[in-house]
């Protein structure tokens, strides 16, 4: 089996902090917890076969441990070097929806579908306390920068804060929801609770908010560990003055606000940035993984001269939106588009290199090209 080539139904995945291997979980009993080579995608080992399967995995910031959570509340802390289980944490009985280690890796929090979250010490698995609120379903959990507070969010309402020592309720981060993750300085990234879709960062040490990006397009879903990239999700957009569902994942440079990559039809479960490979790995809804390269795109291939024919010219734009040229489509083989300029120069372009509107144009008119070829 291969992580990048085969369609395997994973429930979650996480990269080791050094980026060398990936741990995946699955609701399938024989693939409950598996280890993979991050670069080649080859299976390294089957680590656990659980009859009920596993749903979540997360690494500790230190890289010493990882934790897995199961469909029936089973939470296991693992030795990340030996890839062996250390302890099973008691206290949960329903599906685990999120996991997070403290920054110093000595605590673990797990959120369950039964609307409770449990906190344990690691690696011994000693139960400290539970957070219970029957009104909300927690979907994200984490720790403050100094590890004195635990945070929990529904992703659609203000984030709650509790003491990390005894679970005493402290309050809410009233102005932020849709948590995307943490920057390198441990400040929290999310959307402001306003009509402008403003991206904020929140410093837990002083409680201050800082505006990063007013009128952000889409919903922030992930931030790279070094704070360089932000991934966003856009469900709908307007195409030729009509609203269309696109399910678009876009990756941006968080400093320059420049778009790095855009991909449509990405119904996702989770995201993971890999700094060593400079990729964003997207866990899709049906369980398979798609890798998006964040390397700068090469310009369009050099154009070779050819004979001229009568042409219908239009303006073509590449996926980054930075390059345009005038040409007509003369052929399409399902992957590459053959374009010809008015001077008779031709270029073969991968369909995925073109803008979304141009890709739609190609698909719409490819049938008529085949009919014209038959007539000739």
Same domain, 254 and 153: yes
Domain boundary among 293, 315, 347: 293
Same domain, 351 and 249: no
pLDDT of res. 303: 44
| Position 299 in a domain | no
Classify the phi-psi angles of 88: left when phi > 0, otherwise alpha if psi is within -120 to 50, otherwise beta: beta
Does the pTM surpass 0.85? The reply is no
Candidate ranges 116-130, 177-191, 359-373; pick with highest mean pLDDT: 116-130
Summarize pLDDT for 335-346 with one digit per residue, the tens: 888 888 877 788
Same domain, 259 and 315: no
Whose CA is closest to 283, among 19, 2, 25?
25
Same domain, 280 and 356: no
Same domain, 126 and 266: yes
3-state helix, strand, coil in the chain (%, to 5): 5, 50, 45
Domain boundary among 293, 327, 357: 293
| Position 6 in a domain | no
Summarize pLDDT for 349-369 with one digit per residue, the tens: 888 888 888 888 888 877 666
pLDDT of res. 365: 79
Range of the domain at 250: 12-293
The domain that holds 370 is classified in CATH as 2.30.30.700
Q: How many domains does the chain have?
A: 2
Return d(Cα 318, Cα 336) in angstroms, integer. 13
**How far is C-alpha 18 from the chain's CA centre?**
18
Same domain, 277 and 308: no
Domain boundary among 293, 321, 337: 293
pLDDT of res. 362: 85
| Position 158 in a domain | yes
Summarize pLDDT for 123-168 with one digit per residue, the tens: 999 999 999 877 778 889 999 999 999 999 887 778 889 999 999 9
pLDDT of res. 310: 41
Summarize pLDDT for 238-278 with one digit per residue, the tens: 766 778 888 899 999 999 999 999 988 888 888 888 887 78
Same domain, 289 and 316: no
């Amino acid at each position: 089996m291969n992580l990048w080539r085969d369609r395997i139904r994973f429930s979650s995945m996480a990269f080791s902090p050094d980026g060398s291997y990936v741990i995946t979980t699955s609701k399938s009993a024989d693939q409950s917890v598996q280890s993979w080579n991050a670069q080649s995608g080859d299976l390294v080992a089957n680590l656990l076969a659980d009859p009920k399967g596993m749903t979540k995995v997360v690494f500790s910031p230190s890289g010493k441990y990882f934790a897995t959570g199961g469909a029936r509340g089973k939470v296991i802390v693992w030795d990340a070097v030996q890839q062996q289980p250390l302890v099973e944490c008691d206290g949960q009985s329903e599906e685990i929806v999120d996991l997070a280690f403290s920054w110093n890796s000595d605590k673990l929090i797990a959120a369950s579908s039964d609307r409770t979250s449990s906190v344990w010490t690691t690696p011994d698995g000693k139960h400290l306390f539970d957070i219970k609120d029957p009104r909300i379903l927690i979907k994200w959990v984490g720790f403050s920068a100094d590890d004195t507070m635990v945070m929990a969010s529904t992703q659609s309402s203000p984030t709650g804060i509790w003491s990390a020592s005894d679970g005493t309720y402290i309050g809410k981060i009233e102005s932020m929801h849709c948590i995307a993750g943490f920057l390198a300085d441990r400040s929290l990234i999310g959307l402001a609770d306003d009509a402008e879709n403003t991206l904020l960062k929140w410093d837990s040490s002083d409680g201050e908010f800082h505006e990063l990006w007013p009128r952000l397009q889409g919903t922030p879903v992930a931030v790279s560990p070094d704070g360089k990239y932000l991934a966003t999700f856009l469900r709908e957009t307007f195409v030729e003055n009509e609203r269309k569902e696109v399910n678009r994942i876009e990756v941006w440079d968080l400093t320059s606000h420049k778009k790095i990559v855009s991909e449509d039809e990405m119904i996702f479960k989770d995201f993971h940035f890999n700094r060593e490979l400079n990729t964003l790995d997207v866990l899709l809804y049906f369980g398979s993984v798609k890798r998006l390269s964040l390397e700068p795109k090469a310009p369009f291939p050099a154009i070779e001269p050819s004979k001229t024919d009568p042409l219908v010219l239009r303006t073509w734009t590449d996926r980054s939106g930075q390059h345009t040229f005038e040409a007509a489509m003369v052929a399409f083989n399902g992957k590459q588009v053959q374009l010809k300029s008015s001077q008779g120069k031709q270029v073969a372009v991968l369909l995925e290199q073109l803008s979304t509107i141009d890709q739609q144009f190609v698909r719409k008119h490819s049938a008529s090209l085949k009919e014209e070829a038959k007539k000739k």
